[in-house]
Amino acid sequence: SGTINGEKEDIIWTAPNTTGKAEIKVIVKDSDGNIDSMKVTIDVVDIINIAPNIISLTANSRHINTNGTVSLFCDAVDENGDSLSYIWSSDQGTISGSGSSIQWLAPNMEGIYSIKVTVDDGKGLTNNRQILLLVKIFDDEGQLIAWYPCNGTAFDKSGNDHHGTAKGAILTADFDGKPVSSYYFNGGSQHIEVKNTPALNFQDGITLSLWCKPILTADKETFLLSHGSWQSRWKLSFTPSGNLRWTINTITGIVDLDTDIVLKTDSIYHLSASYDGRTMMLFVNGKLNTFKIQTGKIRTTTLPLLIGQMLPTDANYNFKGIMDEIKIYDYALNPGEVEKLFEQGIISNVQNITLAGSISIYPNPADQSLFFDGTRMKDEVAFIRISNLMGVQLKEIEVKGKLKSSIDISGLSAGNYILHVKNLQKETIQSIQFIKS
């Protein structure tokens, strides 16, 4: 049954309009009359079942305290329209709830834990994904060691006199448009150099924080900050693939940590990296993105601290783009403190922003759709507004008291945005940042 088009070694077979088994046979004969044959049997079905597609698995926070609770959401679709079931598991802790959204109660022991979801279409096909969560209590204390607001100079405003010398780096407007308030680096020899001191060689912990607008290149790694680089102390860089990379050299070894998202060229980001003697962490726009175990005191160096360059004698990997508000601490800030650093950088541009509340959005970063969950909100939600980091309104949606909503963001360019939740009087109840990938 079915029809065959073609006569030689390659043919096209069109299945019949009825289900069942179809046999296709080929006979090969040479010029001497020798014959050989082979056949294949094909099952003809109404529908070819396709496994579920997991678009994303997200948590409302990648960090949680011991015995704390975090919400997780699996966004999955099935091309055949099959009803999906979700099977959740974790290596430790307790799962409550079912379906695409659950809560996980962390154990009373710090560590990195895995939550796994298997999505089943009920017809024999499944797909699965896992996410890692950091269970940790932050109790370290320390000092701001250096602060470069870049307001007309490369001077350190922390009070510790770790002043920088701009070596070709050019003062330019910051991300608010204020003149001579950030530094531009051309990717050549331009950089800022800070003389090495014993105070810069702290060893127990570290946090780096900065705003940047990178021009990324696919042919080499480029360096944001470096103190002895990976060879002797630490560095923060972009990989050729566009991931942020944090490298720490301690007395126990050298470890790299990359973000699991690719950053977009010519986009504004707040970036932070930290280490507390036990865990390395990377943050993008105030949110913990990735983390990894690393131990030991940070090695010291005699080399200067460099902004935009790897080593004093090597300008082959210099950063191209704009940097501003560079801060260095001698301890690991907790995730809430890192988020505040990000929020402080956007408050001046967004009117009536309130950054405490109980809304959640997922996934983040998002591509086509962003899901809003306001089931824990006390105020009635009437409008959802999206603005850029400069406070310019780009989209407004009337939700009329809906506690959950899907927001189409496919028309937005890749970058960073603020979602504002408003009441009937269009007063801001809460705002939260997200990334359009």
Do residues 67 and 92 both lie within one domain?
yes
Question: For residue 351, is pLDDT > 50?
Answer: no
Structure tokens at 379: 């105020």
Do residues 341 and 228 both lie within one domain?
yes
pLDDT at 241: 97
Cβ 318 vs Cβ 222: under 8 Å: yes
Do residues 176 and 296 both lie within one domain?
yes
Average pLDDT over residues 339-352: 64
Do residues 280 and 157 both lie within one domain?
yes
Measured CA to CA, the distance from residue 271 to residue 273 in angstroms comes to: 7
Average pLDDT over residues 187-210: 97
pLDDT in tens, 42-75: 989 888 899 999 999 999 899 999 999 999 999 9
Average pLDDT over residues 84-111: 96
Average pLDDT over residues 115-125: 96
Measured CA to CA, the distance from residue 188 to residue 329 in angstroms comes to: 28
pLDDT at 346: 52
User: Residue 358's pLDDT band (boundaries 50, 70, 90)?
Assistant: low
DSSP bridge partners of 164: 194
Question: For residue 403, is pLDDT > 80?
Answer: no
Measured CA to CA, the distance from residue 87 to residue 119 in angstroms comes to: 6
Give the CATH number, domain containing residue 400. 2.60.40.1930
Percent of the chain with pLDDT over 90: 68
Provide the CA 161 distance to its chain's centre, in angstroms.
34
pLDDT at 350: 43
Domain boundary among 87, 112, 135: 135
Question: For residue 103, is pLDDT > 60?
Answer: yes
Cβ 146 vs Cβ 156: under 8 Å: yes
Do residues 209 and 296 both lie within one domain?
yes
User: Residue 140's pLDDT band (boundaries 50, 70, 90)?
Assistant: confident
Give the CATH number, domain containing residue 115. 2.60.40.10
Question: For residue 335, is pLDDT > 50?
Answer: yes
Do residues 319 and 364 both lie within one domain?
no
Predicted structure pTM score: 0.76
Structure tokens at 60: 């409302």
| Domain of residue 74, residue span | 53-135
**Measured torsion, CA atoms of residues 277, 280, 284, 286, in degrees rounded to the nearest 10:** -30
Average pLDDT over residues 251-258: 98
Domain boundary among 78, 106, 135: 135
Cβ 130 vs Cβ 59: under 8 Å: no
Average pLDDT over residues 228-249: 98
Do residues 131 and 150 both lie within one domain?
no
Tell me the C-alpha to C-alpha distance, in Å, between residue 299 and each of 118, 136, 238, 251, 295.
43, 24, 22, 6, 12
Do residues 309 and 373 both lie within one domain?
no
Greater confidence, 356 or 324? Answer: 324
Q: Which own/partner pairs from 345-351 qualify as long-range (CB within 8 Å, at least 24 positions apart)? A: 345/211, 345/270, 346/389, 346/418, 346/433, 348/176, 349/176, 349/389, 349/390, 349/391, 350/387, 350/389, 350/391, 350/418, 350/420, 350/431, 351/391, 351/428
Cβ 293 vs Cβ 165: under 8 Å: no
Max intra-chain CA distance, the chain? 96
DSSP bridge partners of 234: 227, 248
Do residues 260 and 332 both lie within one domain?
yes
Average pLDDT over residues 26-55: 91
- With residue 28 as reference, give the H or E element that holds it: strand 20-29
Cβ 32 vs Cβ 18: under 8 Å: no
Greater confidence, 345 or 315? Answer: 315
Domain boundary among 85, 117, 135: 135
Give the CATH number, domain containing residue 195. 2.60.120.200
- With residue 288 as reference, give the H or E element that holds it: strand 287-293
User: Residue 198's pLDDT band (boundaries 50, 70, 90)?
Assistant: very high
User: Residue 376's pLDDT band (boundaries 50, 70, 90)?
Assistant: low
Percent of the chain with pLDDT over 70: 95
Average pLDDT over residues 332-343: 92
Average pLDDT over residues 349-365: 57
User: Residue 379's pLDDT band (boundaries 50, 70, 90)?
Assistant: low
Do residues 344 and 419 both lie within one domain?
no
Kindly report the average pLDDT of the chain as a whole number: 90
Do residues 203 and 216 both lie within one domain?
yes
Q: How many independent structural domains does the chain possess?
A: 4
Cβ 148 vs Cβ 156: under 8 Å: yes
Do residues 299 and 378 both lie within one domain?
no
pLDDT at 215: 94
